[in-house]
Structure 1
């Protein structure tokens, strides 16, 4: 019977997890990638990367319960999804707060009150 180990919590969002914590995470996952692909971690010398399930940029905490081990390709996919989600949320927040600046219309585009004919003549829409 092993003794219970206190959960690691980073002092800041940038505090990296110690090696002992990373080892506990990999052992808890039985050496399998946490994304669901079923691949073995570290197979063929591939680096093991650690990712926050709830991304820090989306309000997740820097603690052991929020970390998981992934293969590099799986981690890249997850990070791209997190960044895209953060972008959507930032746009929604800015629009809600009235900070969204509408894009200026390009001359001759459908968003302007002027239309340019093939002949080069500019006329009102």
Structure 2
């Protein structure tokens, strides 16, 4: 019976997990990709990549319980989803704070570069 090992926690967000931690993660997943696709890790010479389950940019922590092993194609998809979620949340936050400026202002509105005159004419602001 092996002795319990304390969970690894990175000192900073940029601290890479050591090889012993990566090995524990792969063994805990039984060598299967952590995304749920069911493909064996390292098959056909693919590199094994390690990803945070909850991305650091979305409030995740750099610790062993938040890491999982993925195949490169699965990791690319997950990263795209994380970035999309971050940009959506940032846009909503900016809109709530009144910092968001519409890309397509209403014609003749205050955000428009053109101004409508009462007589029906249009002039630059």
Q: What is the TM-score when the length of structure 2 is the normalising length? A: 0.84
Structure 2 unmatched ranges of 5 or more: 109-113, 115-119
- 1:101 is displaced (CA, Å) by 1.6
Instruction: Determine helix, strand or coil for the equivalent of 1:75.
Output: helix
The answer to whether residue 99 in structure 2 is matched with residue 99 in structure 1 is yes
1:117 corresponds to which residue?
none
Moved more, 83-92 or 94-103: 94-103
Query: C-alpha displacement at 1:24, in angstroms?
Result: 0.2
CA RMSD across the alignment: 1.6
CA shift at 1:123, angstroms? Answer: 5.7
Query: After superposition, what is the alpha-carbon deviation per residue over 1:73-109, rounded to whole angstroms, capped at 9, x for unaligned?
Result: 000000000000000000001011111122254xxxx
Q: TM-score, normalised by structure 1?
A: 0.84
SS in 1 for 2:70: strand
Whether 1:30 and 2:26 are equivalent positions in the alignment is no
Q: Which runs of 5+ in 1 are unaligned?
A: 106-110, 115-121
How many residues align structurally? Answer: 112
Q: Which of residues 112, 116, 123 is equivalent to 2:107?
A: 112
SS at match of 2:62: coil
Aligned partner of residue 20 in structure 1, secondary structure: helix
Matches within 5 A, 1:9-24: 9-24=9-24
In the alignment, which residue of structure 2 is the partner of 1:84? 84
4+ runs deviating over 6 angstroms: none
SS of residue matched to 1:30: coil
Deviation at 1:68, TM superposition (A): 0.1
Matches within 5 A, 1:35-46: 35-46=35-46
Partners in 2 of 1:67 and 1:45 — Cα distance? 22
Deviation (angstroms), 1:23: 0.3
Alignment of 1:43-54 (within 5 A): 43-54=43-54
Partner of 2:111: none
